[in-house]
Amino acid sequence: MPLQIPDPVLGTWAKGFPSRSAGLRLSEVAGAGLHLSDLVTPVLTVHEAALAHNESTVFAWAERQGVLLAPHGKTTMAPALWQRLLDAGAWGISVATPWQAEVAVEAGVSTVLIANSVTDGTAARHLGELLAADRDLRILCWADSVGTVGILADALEGADRPLDVLVELGGRGGRTGARSVEEGERIAQAILEAPGLRLAGVTGYEGPFGPDREDASVAAVDAYLSTLVELHRRLAYPPDVRPVLSAGGSAFPDRAAAVLAPQRGDADIVLRSGAFQIHDDGFYSRMSPFGPLTSTEPLRSAMHAWSRVVSQPEHGLALLDAGRRDVPFDLDLPVPQSVEGRITALNDQHAFLDLADGAGVAVGDVVRLGLSHPCTAFDKWRAVAMIDDPDAADPRVIGAVATCF
């Protein structure tokens, strides 16, 4: 399914790209003969071979498990990277907001899962308009309260096509989601009684129940996922619906598959992780089960930042030109990979590099940084260079992707 891929003309707006690339369309970057050394630090890059490895690893695993993937598009908001996921066999693309859903629909995604409750009546009406304009389009969203169902029902009264709604079940200490199976049943009944809506399944997010891979965390995740199965089994769906049973699957895809996949005979089991395509050198590298736990190859980080030394004001301290406006910092600070040391703090435009004993850099040197959490990396960049090999002396720029944040 070919998407509409943004192909803007590069200019000064494209952070990290050199002045010599101004006037090129993004699609022309591959043939421009650029190397990493031509880019302007700080700069974010994507490693194409790592992307391909991660995609093939996870999609092959999912097929063996009998689960479907609707990777979270909000991770990159890059239709060119969504295209790779759809080409690999993705069931659809997940998003977090109605606006992101509109971006996906405009790009040509035919199955869009809004992994959130829609409580804006105007936005809900627009979803109805999108569905009416394209008979092949499917949009699904969540509801975790009868009040949310009421907003959706009012907005979609008299709609040409019903909006598919999944009951979101949470749990004590979790994020959103009804706090009991019984409350989930009441929400489902309200959806069934709303003429502009269609009950389409059960969903939830297991991430808050497992901060690590310790046995207690895995048990808590399994217990939560089991409540999704219980609610699904209690519900009576409309006869024209094959329900969706969905979990996040970012840090615990193996557990989501183990608990939910036995229901695949009467439901589509859909995991929504978007982080696997990019992976990282931080949170997901610690949490991901891919490797021995899943009898697969480990995933590889496909993103790196490159930052230049701008100052060495003290012995053992170097200041880099990448800061909070350039690299993610919400889960972990960046990790220097081309010199021994650690990043101790970030300002808006600076990183503090505490050098290990015996390690040295000079003003003007470029340091490669491993990053944590792709979901807060791409939002800082409107265009991202794709390179052939981050370990090369001077990697070739073999393309670029645009983001839609």
Residue 354 pLDDT > 90: yes
Q: How far apart are CA 55 and CA 69, in angstroms?
A: 11
For the residues 229-239, what does the mean pLDDT come to?
A: 97
- 46 has pLDDT over 80: yes
> Looking at residue 15, what is its pLDDT?
97
pLDDT at residue 93 tops 90: yes
Distance CA 206, CA 386 (A): 32
Average pLDDT on 188-212 reads 95
Q: Which pLDDT does position 250 carry in this prediction?
A: 87
Per-residue model confidence as pLDDT tens digits over 100-116: 999 999 999 999 999 99
- What lies within 8 Å, CB to CB, of 315 at 6+ separation is none
**Mean pLDDT to the nearest integer, 199-228:** 95
Q: Are 264 and 287 in contact (CB under 8 A)?
A: no
Burial class (CB in 10 A: 0-12, 13-18, 19+), 236: exposed
Q: Express as a percent the part of the chain with pLDDT over 90.
A: 97
d(CA 313, CA 316): 9
Torsion of CA 370, 376, 380, 383, to 10 degrees: 80
* Digit-coded pLDDT (tens) for 266-315: 999 999 999 999 999 999 999 999 999 999 999 999 999 999 999 999 99
The pLDDT of residue 319 is: 98
Confidence of residue 64 (pLDDT cuts 50, 70, 90): very high
Residue 318, phi then psi, degrees to nearest 5: -130, 140
Cα distance between residue 173 and residue 176, in whole Å: 9
Tokens, residue 74? 């909000």
Contacts of 164 (CB under 8 A, 6+ apart): 138, 139, 140, 141, 197, 198, 200, 201, 241
| Model confidence at 389: pLDDT above 90 | yes
| Predicted confidence (pLDDT) per residue in 240-256, tens digit | 999 999 999 889 999 99
Residue 1 has pLDDT above 80, yes or no: no
CA distance 188 to 201: 9
Query: How confident is the model over 363-385, as pLDDT tens digits?
Result: 999 999 999 999 999 999 999 99
Task: Give the chain's largest Cα–Cα span.
Answer: 72
Question: Rounded mean pLDDT of 15-42?
Answer: 97
Question: Could you give the angle at which helices 98-107 and 121-133 cross, rounded to 10 degrees?
Answer: 20
Q: C-alpha distances in angstroms, 21 versus 17, 18, 34, 306?
A: 7, 6, 9, 19
pLDDT reported for residue 330: 96
Alpha-carbon distance of 78 to 39, in angstroms, equals 20
Q: Which secondary-structure segment (H or E) carries 228?
A: helix 215-234
What number is the average pLDDT over the span 43-63?
Answer: 98
Look at residue 166 and give its three-state secondary structure: strand
Nearest to 315 by CA among 354, 364, 367, 363: 354
Task: Report how far residue 107's alpha carbon sits from residue 110's, in angstroms, rounded to the nearest whole number.
Answer: 9
Spatial distance between the Cα atoms of 152 and 156, rounded to a whole number of angstroms: 6
- The pLDDT tens digits of the residues spanning 103-155 come to 999 999 999 999 999 999 999 999 999 999 999 999 999 999 999 999 999 99
